[in-house]
């Protein structure tokens, strides 16, 4: 077994301390439960193993890859993770059901169940949050704050040579106070040196860059290559959602959305969006991947736009405050004295008030 098919021992946790409780979600590649690791409340992802030998081998390789990638990147906008690789036969009795997401990495397990243990975020997915407030829009500073969280997380992945490939609101988890988001689910992530075509069951067409799927038939064994700019395209779609709180390619099936994107159709930009923000969104989803900005550029552009937002006007501070004691007015010193001798003038004024 190659080093790519193994998990470091330092990432393992003790399965005897793991308890799997109720299901909190489900995805194409597994289920996620709320549970405990020792005294810590955690999320436990149980990965589908498949029924056929060749399918099992492929899924096990994907599992090991996901675990190794999750464990090697650390960022406050990435969900944290841990691992366990020993037997979980006792745990199988406790299993109820299962989901997907990336929190703080705590551990994983491979035999007989493939399990990843992560931090549990008490908030909801960005998808559920946006749906819950629809048709209301996000407050613009909050929408941009979420966008910056996402951009920083992806910048961290790209700096480590990782392409996420499945960025969408379902894989973005809100913190408990709903003030920030973390990027989750590395199930489809790839190292930049190993890229392959996506299929209908991987990713979601509404957010996928057109170069991830093909509108032409490839020769047997032929692969269409792409780079980390596929995440930039998906980010552009997510940013559009944050600004509009609408589903991209509304009224279209997944297949129709794929064809629309492949033939250069994009979601409509509402008139009320600032031209500067519209430029950021549209630059992310341009057809030529090489023309899309990097996440360091996106972060800079978003921060520059935030500086242009008019802050709320500050409450005016009173020049002087007057109190009454025993029926006599006492003038306090000015909070913001003006002039070179302002303090001395105030001192004499206060003395006159006391003597009058």
Q: Are 2 and 61 in contact (CB under 8 A)?
A: no
* Distance linking the first and last C-alpha atoms of the chain: 96
Which pLDDT score, from 0 to 100, does residue 32 have? 83
Q: How far apart are CA 84 and CA 75, in angstroms?
A: 21
Q: Which of 325, 170, 153 is nearest to 241 (CA)?
A: 170
Q: How far apart are CA 59 and CA 50, in angstroms?
A: 7
Which pLDDT score, from 0 to 100, does residue 268 have? 95
Q: What is the mean pLDDT of residues 177-182?
A: 90
Max CA pair span of the chain = 102
- CA dihedral (68, 174, 133, 143) in degrees, to 10, reads -90
Helix, strand, coil percentages (3-state) for the chain, rounded to 5, are 40, 20, 45
SS3 157: helix
* b/e 304-333 (16+ beta carbons within 10 angstroms → b): ebeeeeeeeeeeeeeeeeeeeeeeeeebee
Tell me the pLDDT band of 80, cut-offs 50, 70 and 90. low
Query: How much is the pTM?
Result: 0.70
Which pLDDT score, from 0 to 100, does residue 294 have? 97
What does the H/E/C string look like for 267-292?
CCCCCCCCHHHHHHHHHHCCCCHHHC
Span 98-153, pLDDT tens digits: 222 334 555 555 555 677 787 777 778 899 999 999 999 999 999 999 999 999 99
Mean residue pLDDT across the chain: 75
Tell me the pLDDT band of 162, cut-offs 50, 70 and 90. confident
Q: What is the mean pLDDT of residues 292-306?
A: 97
More confident residue, 20 or 11: 20
| Model confidence at 269: pLDDT above 80 | yes
Contacts of 124 (CB under 8 A, 6+ apart): 132, 173, 174
Q: What are phi and psi of 105, to 5 degrees?
A: -75, 125
Residue 170 annotated in active site: no
Which residue is listed with tokens 């950021």? 280
Which pLDDT score, from 0 to 100, does residue 201 have? 41
β-sheet bridge partners, residue 45: 32, 116
Which pLDDT score, from 0 to 100, does residue 313 have? 64
Q: What are phi and psi of 63, to 5 degrees?
A: -60, -50
Q: How far apart are CA 106 and CA 117, in angstroms?
A: 5
Domains with residue ranges and CATH for the chain: 3-119 (3.30.200.20), 126-308 (1.10.510.10), 322-355 (no CATH)
Q: How far apart are CA 166 and CA 150, in angstroms?
A: 13
Q: How far apart are CA 314 and CA 306, in angstroms?
A: 18
Which pLDDT score, from 0 to 100, does residue 320 have? 47
Q: Which of 163, 258, 166 is nearest to 213 (CA)?
A: 258
202: buried, middle or exposed (CB in 10 Å: 19+, 13-18, 0-12)?
middle
Catalytic residue among 149, 166, 185, 231: 166
Q: Residues at the annotated binding site for ATP? A: 45
Span 211-260, pLDDT tens digits: 887 655 445 555 567 889 999 999 999 999 999 999 999 999 888 998 89
């Amino acid at each position: 077994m190659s080093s790519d098919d193994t998990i470091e021992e330092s990432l393992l946790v003790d399965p005897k301390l793991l308890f799997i409780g109720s299901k909190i979600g489900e995805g194409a590649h597994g289920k996620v439960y709320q549970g405990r690791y020792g005294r810590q409340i955690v999320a436990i992802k149980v990965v589908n193993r498949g029924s056929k030998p060749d399918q099992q081998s492929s899924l096990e390789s994907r599992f090991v890859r996901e675990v190794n990638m999750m464990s090697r990147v650390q960022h406050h906008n990435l969900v944290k993770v841990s691992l366990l690789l020993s037997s979980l036969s006792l745990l199988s009795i406790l299993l109820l059901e299962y989901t997907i997401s990336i929190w703080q990495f705590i551990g994983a397990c491979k035999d007989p169940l493939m399990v990843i243990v992560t931090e549990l975020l008490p908030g909801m997915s960005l998808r559920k949050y946006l749906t819950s407030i629809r048709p209301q829009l996000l407050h613009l500073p909050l929408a941009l704050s979420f966008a910056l969280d996402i951009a920083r997380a992806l910048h961290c992945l790209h700096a480590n040579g990782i392409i996420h490939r499945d960025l969408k609101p379902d894989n973005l988890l809100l913190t408990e106070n709903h003030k920030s988001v973390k990027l989750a689910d590395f199930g489809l992530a790839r190292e930049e040196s190993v890229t392959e075509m996506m299929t209908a069951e991987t990713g979601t067409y509404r957010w996928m860059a057109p170069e991830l799927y093909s509108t032409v038939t490839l020769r047997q064994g032929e692969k269409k290559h792409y780079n980390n700019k596929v995440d930039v395209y998906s980010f552009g779609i997510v940013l559009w959602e944050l600004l509009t709180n609408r589903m991209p390619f509304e009224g279209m099936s997944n297949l129709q959305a794929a064809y629309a994107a492949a033939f250069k159709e994009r979601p409509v930009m509402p008139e009320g969006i600032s031209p500067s923000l519209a430029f950021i969104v549209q630059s992310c989803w341009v057809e030529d991947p090489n023309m899309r900005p990097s996440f360091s550029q996106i972060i800079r552009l978003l921060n520059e736009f935030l500086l242009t937002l008019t802050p709320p006007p500050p409450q005016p501070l009173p020049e002087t405050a007057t109190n009454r004691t025993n029926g006599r007015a006492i003038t306090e010193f000015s909070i913001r004295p003006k002039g070179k001798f302002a303090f001395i003038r105030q001192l004499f004024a206060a003395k006159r008030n006391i003597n009058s």
